[in-house]
C-alpha cells in the first residue's frame, strides 16, 4: 500500500467515541453498539471508550478487547456527603481531559449511553462541534441525558412517550441494544435448557434472577417462600443468587435441601435459563426488560427501589400498562412474589396473553438501528 493510499484510508476511517458506565446497564449497550459498528464497517471504523476511573467499565471494557480512557468524574450523592464538595473540581478536570481525548483521537462522533463519564465527554464534544448521539435505556430518562439532549443530533430510545424528556424531532425509537442472541425459544430449546440445569421436563419451572451481583430482596423472597413450603416446593426453580450472596444462599440450601431447586451465583447461558422457564421473576433494569421482550416470557417484575428516579418501577409499569407483565413491589415481594408466580403457572391463558404482549415489544435489531443513526450524523 502506497503512502498516498494509506493517507486516504486514514482520512476515510471513521472514529467513534462511546461513553457510558457505572453499571452493566450502561456498559453492555455500548459494547453491543461497538460490535454492530465493527460488523458493518470492519476496519473502516476505530473505536474508543471513555469511562469513569474506578468504575466497572475500566475492567470490563479492556477485557473485551477495547481501548478505554478514564475520567476522574463521579456522581452526585443524593444524601449529604463530603464527597459532593469535590464534585465540581472532578467535573472540570473531566471536561478538560475529555476535550483532549476527543482532539487527540480525532473523533467524528460521540455516542453517550448514560453514567458518570457520559456527561463530560458529551458536553465537551458538543462544544467542539462534534456530532453527538444519546441512547437512553429506560422509560424515565437519566439526568445526564436530559441535560445534554438539546445538543444531541439524535436521541435513541426504547420506550414510547419520551418526548416529555427530549426534543420530539430528534427522537428515534430503536430499542435497547443487547449482546448475545435472544429469541422466543422452541420446545427443543426448552428441553435443552431444563437438561442443562438438571430439571424435570414434566414439571413447571420458575426462573428467579437478580443480576450478576445479586438481589437481597429476591434472595430473601426465595428463603421465605421455601420455608412456607416446608422445603417441598410445588414447582421447580432456577435461582440465580448473584456474586454477593452466593455463599450465604448455598449454605441455606445445604441446611434446608429443597428438591427441584437449582441455585448458583451466575448463569453463563441466560438463553438456556429463559428457555427452561415457564415464568420469570426479575428486577426491571432496562437490559433485563429488553431481554425478556425478546424471549417472550411471562414475567413478574420486582423493581429495585434503590435506583435514580425509581426508573425500574417506571420500566416495569410501562409493560404492565400494556398487559405485558405483572408487578410486585419490592416491599411486598417476600410475602407475595413466589405465590403470584405460582398463580401464573396455574393460569395458562394469562401466561399466553403476557407472553404475546411482551414479545410484541421486542426490537431484535436495536444495535443495528443505532448504527444507522450514527452513520447519518458522522
- For 194, 231, 236, 264, the CA distances from 250, given in Å and listed in that order, are 20, 14, 17, 8
Q: Is 179 annotated as a binding residue?
A: yes
Q: Is 267 within any annotated ligand binding site? A: yes
- Quote the CA–CA distance of 253 and 233 in Å, as a whole number: 13
C-alpha to C-alpha distance for 323 and 320, rounded to whole angstroms = 5
Q: Enter the DSSP assignment of 213.
A: S
**Distance, first Cα to last Cα, the chain:** 26
Cell numbers for 212: 450478576
User: Three-class SS of residue 18?
Assistant: strand
Check the annotation: does 232 bind a ligand.
no
Region of 164 (left: φ > 0; alpha: ψ -120 to 50; beta: rest) is alpha
Residue 312 among known ligand-binding residues: yes
Structural contact between residues 217 and 258, judged by C-beta atoms closer than 8 angstroms: no
Q: Does 23 show up as a binding residue in the annotation? A: yes
Contacts of 15 (CB under 8 A, 6+ apart): 45, 46, 47, 48, 105, 106, 107, 108
Locate 1 and state its grid cell. Answer: 500500500
Is residue 113 within 8 Å of 141, Cβ to Cβ?
no
* Beta sheet of 299-301, edge-to-edge order: 261-264, 236-240, 205-209, 279-282, 299-301, 326-327
The reply, when asked if residue 176 is annotated as ligand binding, is: no
Binding residues for UDP-N-acetyl-alpha-D-glucosamine: 23-25, 138, 179, 212, 267, 312
Binding residues: 23-25, 138, 179, 212, 267, 312
Amino acid at each position: 500500500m502506497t503512502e498516498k493510499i494509506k493517507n486516504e484510508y486514514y482520512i476515510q476511517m471513521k472514529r467513534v467515541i462511546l461513553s457510558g458506565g457505572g453499571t452493566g446497564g450502561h456498559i453492555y449497550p455500548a459494547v453491543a453498539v461497538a460490535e454492530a459498528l465493527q460488523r458493518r464497517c470492519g476496519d473502516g471504523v476505530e473505536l474508543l471508550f471513555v469511562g469513569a476511573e474506578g468504575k466497572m467499565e475500566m475492567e470490563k471494557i479492556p477485557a473485551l478487547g477495547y481501548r478505554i480512557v478514564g475520567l476522574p468524574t463521579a456522581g452526585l450523592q443524593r444524601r449529604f456527603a463530603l464527597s459532593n464538595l469535590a464534585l465540581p473540581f472532578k467535573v472540570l478536570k473531566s471536561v478538560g481531559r475529555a476535550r483532549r481525548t476527543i482532539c487527540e483521537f480525532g473523533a467524528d462522533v460521540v455516542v453517550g449511553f448514560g453514567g458518570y463519564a457520559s456527561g463530560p465527554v458529551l458536553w465537551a464534544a458538543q462544544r467542539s462541534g462534534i456530532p453527538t448521539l444519546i441512547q437512553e435505556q429506560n422509560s424515565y430518562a437519566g439526568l445526564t441525558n436530559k441535560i445534554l439532549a438539546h445538543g444531541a443530533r439524535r436521541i435513541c430510545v426504547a420506550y414510547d412517550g419520551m418526548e416529555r424528556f427530549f426534543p420530539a424531532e430528534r427522537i428515534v425509537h430503536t430499542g435497547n441494544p443487547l449482546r448475545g442472541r435472544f429469541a422466543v425459544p422452541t420446545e427443543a430449546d426448552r428441553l435443552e435448557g431444563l437438561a442443562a440445569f438438571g430439571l424435570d421436563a414434566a414439571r413447571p419451572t420458575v426462573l428467579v434472577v437478580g443480576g450478576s451481583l445479586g438481589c437481597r430482596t429476591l434472595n430473601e423472597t426465595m428463603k421465605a417462600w421455601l420455608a412456607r413450603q416446608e422445603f417441598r416446593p410445588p414447582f421447580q426453580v432456577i435461582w440465580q443468587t448473584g456474586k454477593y450472596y452466593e455463599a450465604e444462599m448455598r449454605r441455606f440450601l445445604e441446611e434446608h435441601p429443597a428438591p427441584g431447586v437449582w441455585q448458583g451465583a451466575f448463569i453463563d447461558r441466560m438463553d438456556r435459563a429463559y428457555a427452561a422457564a415457564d415464568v420469570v421473576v426479575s428486577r426491571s433494569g432496562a437490559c433485563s426488560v429488553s431481554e425478556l421482550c425478546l424471549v417472550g416470557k411471562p414475567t413478574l417484575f420486582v423493581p429495585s427501589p434503590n435506583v435514580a428516579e425509581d426508573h425500574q418501577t417506571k420500566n416495569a409499569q410501562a409493560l404492565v400498562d400494556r398487559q405485558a407483565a405483572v408487578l410486585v413491589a419490592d416491599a411486598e415481594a417476600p410475602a407475595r412474589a413466589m405465590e403470584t408466580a405460582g398463580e401464573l403457572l396455574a393460569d395458562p391463558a394469562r401466561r399466553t396473553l403476557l407472553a404475546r404482549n411482551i414479545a410484541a415489544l421486542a426490537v431484535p435489531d436495536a444495535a443495528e438501528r443505532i448504527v444507522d443513526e450514527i452513520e447519518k450524523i458522522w
